[in-house]
Structure 1
Amino acid sequence: MYLTRLRVNTARVGARQLLSSPQRLHAAVMSSFAEIPVTGDDGPRVLWRVDATSRAETYLYIVGPAKPDLTHLVEQAGWPDTGRWETYDYAPLLDRLSTGDRWSFRLTANPVHTARRRDDEPTKITPHVGLRHQSRWLLQRQEGAGFKVMEKPQQQRLIPEGDEYELVIHNRRQLNFGKGGQQQRVSLVTVTFDGLLEVTDPDAFRRTLTRGLGRAKAYGCGLMTLAAV
């Protein structure tokens, strides 16, 4: 497995076109591989995410079972003369994960649930829009994903309820873009989770890091990245 990072030049028209359409960016990411990685249902897959930093820098992150070649993305959305991308071997980090490890994490996800207005209607996939429901969406999946979000010490909780966890939810986005020659429209609500976690099941957590969490993985959701606490 490999983790790749590319800084995006948002001043370029090509970059803005890619960032405005997860469908286009997905196609560009998959074009980074001479041979599209073939994975089974339980194997690793290609995941990606776009991050904006506090210094107004935008980065594209890619995790996959093969090394990508981002030359075309540098030419379209980077700095062709000086731009480079960084690729790291992800295996050493994955291999050393163990129960009790604590990490800072970031995850952009598509938190949804199924709902119906009347009993005689079929269920419909509906986005969670409230912060509490979005937080609950992640907490409900943490056990199966091999981690738990850390709880805050009692003295650090600003309000009696709803501030129990080391978790911040931000960058809520409503995405609408074309798919399949623009004939089909896709609508997504995405949010970014930043927080602290503890590994509870290393094998399950490795699957989370290499398979993604939640829906809309082709559109920049599901990739969790870690940093030292």
Structure 2
Amino acid sequence: MPHEPGKVRLVGAGPGAADLLTVRALRAIEDAQALLYDALIADEVIALAPAACLKIQTGKRAGRPSLEQATINRLMLRLARRGLNVVRLKGGDPSIFGRVGEEAAFLHVHGIDTEVVPGVTAASAAAAQFGFPLTHRGEARRLLIATATTKAGALIDAGWAQAADAQTTVALYMGRDRLEAALAQLMAHGRSAATPALAVENAGRREARVLAGTVGDLGEVVTTAGLDGPVVLIVGEVTAQAAAAVAAPPILKAQA
């Protein structure tokens, strides 16, 4: 007899530390019969899945080998059609640059029950860990989350004007290798070179660190530091509160 289709949960693993998982995410992982996880998911999170769970790394790290999105879609569908409880585990929040819309739409078309489980995103983790707000009365009225989108290897010259407003905190994801170009775009569109800025590596993890500077000089600081982990760039007056809270900028250690 054919299997009753299983369910697919598109789950946010947060920034890395297992204790930053939501309770719903933890329960989904513990109940998984098949776990498709991105390369940046911490081992301590993967270890929460049952020993008998089928575990498949999908990649999804910039510049590294990854399964094609179409392949991931087909794999989720195949496993669900076998009647398995499938968890597609993504770093951060799946609805923020996690392709959750594409995957959910594909599964819905094929009649698979799907649930999205949110997670802590990198900007929120960085702010909490290093002691600064993302919005603040009199300094930041809004938060803009964006990526350093490229075309033919160059940053796309669109959307930067919204990031130039002094009352906007900008969180730029997946921009480590294009950080200098992104900062140059911000200045070209009117953001002051003196605006405080942070580059946070491995936000939310025990090994996290942050490099402090300004829009005008942070690019050189990051290049010199040679960061290897995932980096979120946060620009805005609010980031000065991080430097005020920790004694030794420009390289600050994560709070315990």
Same-fold call, TM > 0.5? no
Calculate the TM-score normalised by the size of structure 1: 0.30
Structure showing the higher strand proportion among its residues: 1
Asked which structure has the greater CA Rg, the reply is: 2
Structure showing the higher helix proportion among its residues: 2
Higher relative contact order (CA 8 A, sep 6+): 1
Calculate the TM-score normalised by the size of structure 2: 0.27
